[in-house]
Structure formats: C-alpha cells, structure tokens
Amino acid sequence: MKKICILGAGGFIGSHLVKKLIRTSEFNITCVDITKQKIEKIAGSKGFNFVNLDIRKSGDDFESLIKESDIVIDLIAYANPDLYIKIPLKVVELNLFENLKVADYCEKYNKWLIQFSTCEVYGKSDGSTNPLNPDTSDCILGPIRNQRWIYSCAKQLLERMLYAKGVYNNLQYTIIRPFNFVGPEMDFLVEDNSKDIPRVFPGFISSLLKGFSMKIVDMGENYRTWTYIDDAIDAIYLILKNEKQVRNEILNIGSYGNEIKVYELAILMKEIFEQITNKKIYECIEFVDGEKFYGKGYEDCDRRIPDTFKLNELGWKANYNLYDTMHTTINYYVKNYS
C-alpha cells in the first residue's frame, strides 16, 4: 500500500481529501497540520495517522516523514486575501520558503510532490473570457505597492522553482491550480465587522445565518468560477491515480461553466437561503471599498476561467453546476449552523 503524506490535511481541501482517501482504503495516510478540528471525527480510522507539526519549526522529524512516504501532497499556505494585506512577509515565508524546503526533501529522497498552487498565478485577465491554459497563458500581476499580488507572486516563484528543479535536478512533481473551491467547512464563520475576514462564501453565509449585511467589495463587479469541493476531490483523486500522465505537469482544477459576478453570487445565495429556510431576507447588502475593507494595497483579480483539458483527458468532468454547488453548500450550513 502506497504511503501518502498530506501537509495541511486539517484545512478545507485537506479535510475533504483525507475523508475521500480513507473511504477508498487504497493508501496509508499521514496527515500533518497544526490543527485537526476538521478531521477530528475520522481520527480513529484505519490507515490514518495525524502528526501535529508546524513545518516552520520542524527539522529532522519532518524530513523523516517525507523520507518514509511515497507521495507528498502539499496544501500548506496562507490562502486568504485578508492575510496578503495584513501579513505579506509571513505569506512569502510560508508559501514560498517553507514550501521550497518540502520540494528539497522530495528531491533528495526522490518522492512525487503534488504541490497546490493557485489560479491566482494567472493574475489579471483584463476581462478576457479565454479559458486559462496552464502551459501557454501569461501570468500578469499588478504593481508592487498593491500587496495583494504577493501571494500570487510567491506561488508563481514556487512553481518556477519546481519546474526548474524538474528540468535540472529530476524532481518529480505535479502542480495543481485550484479555481475557487467551495463546500462545507471552508475557512471559518464570522460576526459582523469581525477583524478577520474569511473568503467570500464563508463571509456571505455568516451574514445570512447571523442576520448582518453581506459586504460586497468594489460593487461586486469581478467574476469567479466556482468548483464544488466533491468535484475538486474527484479531480485530485484522478491525478493521484494517473501518476505517469501528470508527471511534471501543471493542471487547473475548476468548473468552467460555473462563472458568476460577485454581486450576483450574493443575490443567488440570498435566494437559495430564503428557499431553504422559508424566511424572507431584507436589506442584506452593503457595498464596501476594497482598500477600506481589506486595507491599503488590495486590488482584485477581475476574471479567471479554467481550461481543464488535461483533467478531461483523464476522464474528469464536473457534476455540480453553479446552482447545485451553492444549494448543497448552503443547505449544509443551514443544517449545521443555524
């Protein structure tokens, strides 16, 4: 049985991935994280081992975990735009330098590294509706003073380092660029005017559940393409099962058809919430300025649509359209948090 070491297993994507892999019973799984709240319920499962470890403070113990594994999946990162403005240096330290150490260990012990990057490496698309191709599309970022891009830039440099290590040092890697996954247990719920800001779905669902306004940044004019977490996990599983085809490749994971403007997403979520709860919601929208909401240096990605030809060749297709994605996720939150 192959041994997988999942770094960041206690997070949103990690917790869903671990649950899927435990169900298949095909792998021996070691989970590494500084929190295990989201995977607490499966802690006793067969083939599951949790190691509470902060990769910034670890040494030989961490290296040994990688040495003993066959496959390393690295999900560790600060992945929330609020943090790109508040702690940009820590974002680079974790998302680039700490993750590079993981790549070094994988190179040293000849392990297959599946590295989570982001669709944000594509940066700005100037409104283009062309699907973004991981091998040919440009990566265009805003000015340095707009700190938001530091996350994208750190992830991009990590990708470039892995690519070069693949060419010159024979590192075996696969890079995944997720496009706005959404589903149960994403980030955290908040109160009104909380100092920590989650990503948009948990922010909006907190408002609907707790009765304060959804904050729409810069009129909600930008677009996102939403991917239901189960579809995303199916894609990751296919990647794991097709090692040869995805070796030293970069793949997008995203649901091409699930695009919507942020303002329209707020309206859609409100309508679905009303249907599920049978309650009418009034005055639930507040428009906010991006730099006032997140801080100076916030600039947004305008539009990003994934080209998933590599996944489709592996037999992947999304099962959840936008409505089903939102309905299933909102239903989960209403059942569990209201």
By annotation, the residues acting in catalysis are 151
Of 173, 153, 161, 169, residue with least CA distance to 100: 161
CB 319 within 8 A of CB 269: no
Q: Does 92 bind ligand UGA (CB under 6 A)?
A: no
What tokens appear for 290 in the block? Answer: 């991006």
Q: Given the complex with ligand UGA, which of 111 and 199 has the nearer CB atom? A: 199
Work out whether 329 is an interface residue with ligand NAD (CB under 6 A).
Answer: no
**Segment contacting ligand UGA by CB under 6 A, of 45-53, 177-185, 228-236, 305-313:** 177-185
The answer to whether residue 119 forms part of the interface with ligand UGA (CB under 6 A) is yes
State CA 329 to chain mean position distance: 16
What is the residue type of 330?
Answer: I
For position 62 contacting ligand NAD by CB under 6 A, the verdict is no
Residue 81 near ligand UGA by CB under 6 A: yes
Q: Does 79 bind ligand NAD (CB under 6 A)?
A: yes
Q: Which does 322 bind (CB under 5 to 8 A by kind): ligand UGA, ligand NAD, none?
A: none
Nearer residue to ligand UGA within complex by CB, 122 or 316: 122
The amino acid at 136: T
Q: Which residue of 4, 29, 30, 33 would you call a contact of ligand NAD, by CB under 6 A?
A: 33
Cβ of residue 270: shortest distance to ligand UGA, in angstroms?
Answer: 13
Q: How many residues bind ligand NAD (CB under 6 A)?
A: 24
**Cβ-Cβ contacts under 8 Å for 138 (sequence gap 6 or more):** 122
Q: How far is the CB of 79 from ligand UGA (least distance, A)?
A: 4
- Using CB under 6 A as the binding rule, whether residue 298 contacts ligand NAD is answered as no
- Residue 193: left if φ>0, alpha if ψ -120 to 50, beta else—which one? left
Position 290 contacts ligand NAD (CB under 6 A): no
Smaller CB separation from ligand NAD, 125 or 284: 125
Taking each helix axis from N to C terminus, what angle separates 99-109 and 149-169, rounded to the nearest 10 degrees? 10
Q: By three-state DSSP, how is residue 86 classified? A: helix
The binder of 284, among ligand NAD, ligand UGA, none, by C-beta within 5 to 8 A per type, is: none
- Under the criterion CB under 6 A, does residue 235 sit at the interface with ligand UGA? no
Q: Taking CB under 6 A as the rule, does residue 134 contact ligand NAD? A: no
CA-to-CA separations, 49 to 6, 17, 70, 306, in angstroms, rounded: 10, 14, 15, 34
Contacts (Cβ under 8 Å, ≥6 apart) of 72: 4, 5, 7, 66, 102, 105, 106, 111, 112, 113, 114
Q: Which residue is nearest to ligand NAD (CB)?
A: 11
Q: Which is nearer to ligand UGA, 165 or 177 (CB)?
A: 177
| Residue positions counted in the chain | 338
Phi then psi dihedrals of residue 128, to 5 deg: -65, 140
User: Cβ(100)–Cβ(161) under 8 Å?
Assistant: yes
Q: Is 216 near ligand UGA (CB under 6 A)?
A: yes
Closest separation between CB of residue 201 and ligand UGA, Å? 7
List of residues contacting ligand NAD (CB under 6 A): 8, 10-14, 32-35, 54-56, 75-77, 79, 94, 116, 118-119, 178, 180-181
